[in-house]
Chains A and B, each alone.
Chain A
Amino acid sequence: MKERVFVVTNRLGLHARPASLFVQAGAKYRCSVKVTKLNGDEFEVNGKSVMGLMMLAAANGEKVKVVVDGPDEERALVEIEGLFQRKFDEE
């Protein structure tokens, strides 16, 4: 099991499009992906669910914790990290 905290830096936050990119990234791997918003009410959502991610209402500047667990967790985390770094390719 591995976890990492990311700051949402794209302007609109984890909206439909970023959320779906996140899900598509996670779906490629067998490991589970769980996401929690820090400073929120700490409820955990399935990182392979668009609605789940949107339920977090993670806005720009907020922090989310991603926990991956499974044989390919390392690679999944790297790919997800890339998304945050590229600000979900938001224009």
Chain B
Amino acid sequence: MIVIKGVAASPGIAIGKALVLENEEIVINRVEIPPDKVRAEVRRFKAALDATYRDLDAAESKVLKMLGKEHARLIDTHRLILSDPLITKDVPKRIQEERVNAEFALSEALEVVNQAFEKIQDEFFRERRHDLFDVGKRLLSHLLKQERRTISGVRHPAILVARNLLPSDTLNLKESNVLGFVTDLGGKTSHTAILAQSMEIPAVVGLSDASHRIRNGDEVILDGDQGLVIVQPSPEAVEKYEKMRQRSIKEEEALDSLRGVPTVTADGHKLRMMVNLDTIDEMKAVLSLKGDGVGLFRTEYLYLNRSSAPGEEEQARAYSAIAKALDPLPLTVRTADIGGDRLAHLGLEVPKNETNPFMGLRGIRLFLKHPELLKTQLRAVLRASAHGKVQVMIPMVSSLRELQAARRIFRQAQDELAAEGVETAKKVPFGIMVEIPSAALMLDALIEEADFVSIGTNDLIQYILAVDRINEDVAHLYDPFHPAVVRILRHIVDAVHRREKKVTVCGEMTSDPKAVPLLAGLGVDNLSVTPRMFLRVKHIVRQISMSSARAMVERALTLSDSEQIRKLVSEL
């Protein structure tokens, strides 16, 4: 049994026999073309170009039918590549000047581009070269008058193993017997990975040499969730994964029926279940879950991979689009929780000697140091409130002073927009994240200035236990069931409820099936869950009896050992 670790490109489990695709490295010989045949060679190349255009038309109608308009854009990209002067001009020029065959001229031209792309640091840009190869291979196969291998020809169910799969290969997988695929090359953002996800085919990529290590007919387990490939697995491993696969199929079916069903516990208590949103791209998936809105919209993505902070227009457009799509369900926008390390990229001064960024300049601390960033974001959020139900919350609050300063800027933004005659909602709730122990302990004071509270459990646990989860030596001390965690959560919930306000939990703890009964029993009003776990958590909530969960929490609060608490919760 060999376990190879790669990149989890598309989730799911597949078990089956390997079908190793021969490396399609076509040997291209350099053939000298006599002067009087050069024009004919160029014509031959042009004919191959035309044939490739026709290929793309055929592929386009297939994609439209199978995957919809969005993915058909891939074909547009391929058309553009095909009409690129690097192909239409450079190749004929090489044929004429070097008097070589079209195949050789083409492969030389592609190689130049490949070398340039290989040097690119940014993975997203670098992965685009596979689109070029895809087009190049289509062209070559027409020149060589070779049938391209088609994967739809796979006769028996199999796991495809290849050095690389091109997007056009991937498109053919849906109607084939392919259970999943593994490749040596590729990253999470390649077109091949994205297509596999939308076709729901499990895939692991970036395995470096798997196509050499796996032989045709080998038994293979593909774990698309963990990014693992197990070759010649032990019978125990097969049994374990087969069980997992069956269970997940059954679960998926059962969970699917929970979309749009109210989130009510077994004894009739209603809980609001919302979704955490990381980027605007996830909106479609989020809407299909039919939850109670977005409890945490992380806006950091807008600040990444760029060298100046996003402007008000850009942000307002993004927030408005999401607010509109969700309306009348609420969108909770968290102002960006970016750390000091991002500042250089945004053209701002980087803090010196930041040896511990978790305790450094981040969240509201950073935005109060650069109030123009906060104001811009708050103005954008307020503008979006004209298009749907929007609320805003501030991360990393550790004192009343910070909260008051943020609120002041919020009011300024409101006044400015009113003076400018810009339409906003009358009331935009202003809440805080409670993730720093000081905020939790003095919440009775903070809550006077906040309309609602959301608990960020990841940071709260890490700060209250003084555990850096990235530090291997102490990571095991990170413990959501630690008695101190349960106690501080109770303290927070009570402080918020005393003022008759609502409390949400939006950290990873809401996505941990084992911790959900604890949160319900603590009296949390809303859970905001990662989309992937949403239906699973909903299923758990619907099975909980609120009265026994509450009794369980009362008992848990008397315990002083996390193992006892864990056991108590699991017995519910």
Contacts and interface: CB of A to CB of B under 8 A. Distances in A.
Interface of A: 9, 11, 13, 15-16, 20, 23, 43, 46, 48-52, 54-55, 57, 59-62, 91
Contacts of B321: 91
Contacts of A61: 306-308, 345, 347
Contact of B132 (A23, A48, A51): A51
Interface of B is mostly: helix
Given A16-B80, A61-B308, 5 more contacts: A11-B310, A23-B80, A51-B86, A54-B128, A60-B307
B198 interface: no
Contacts of A50: 80-81, 84
Contacts of B80: 16, 20, 23, 50
18 contacts: A11-B314, A20-B76, A20-B77, A23-B80, A43-B116, A49-B84, A49-B85, A50-B80, A51-B84, A52-B85, A52-B86, A54-B125, A55-B113, A55-B117, A57-B120, A57-B122, A61-B347, A91-B317
B353 interface: no
B84 A11 contact: no
Contacts of A57: 120-122, 125-126
B558 interface: no
Nearest to B131: A16
Contacts of B356: none
Interface string B158-183: 00000000000000000000000000
A50 B438 CA distance: 53
B200 to A, nearest CB: 25
Interface in B103-131: 113, 116-117, 120-122, 124-126, 128
The 10 closest A-B pairs by CB, nearest first: A61-B307, A60-B306, A57-B125, A57-B120, A55-B116, A50-B80, A49-B85, A49-B84, A16-B77, A20-B80
A59 B122 contact: yes
A59 B307 CA distance: 8
Contacts of A11: 302, 306, 310, 314
Nearest to B347: A61
Nearest to A90: B314
B431 to A, nearest CB: 27
B150 to A, nearest CB: 26
B213 to A, nearest CB: 32
Nearest to A58: B125
B257 interface: no
Interface string B71-108: 00000110011001110000000000000000000000
A61 B306 CA distance: 6
A41 B141 CA distance: 35
A60 B124 CA distance: 13
B305 interface: yes
Interface in B307-333: 307-308, 310, 314, 317, 321
Nearest to A59: B305
Contacts of B126: 57
Contacts of B116: 43, 55
Contacts of B85: 46, 48-49, 52
B309 to A, nearest CB: 10
Nearest to B314: A11
A23 B82 CA distance: 13
Counting chain B CB atoms within 10 Å of each CB, the highest count among A16, A52, A55 belongs to A55
A77 B283 CA distance: 38
A33 to B, nearest CB: 11
A61 B314 CA distance: 14
Contacts of B347: 61
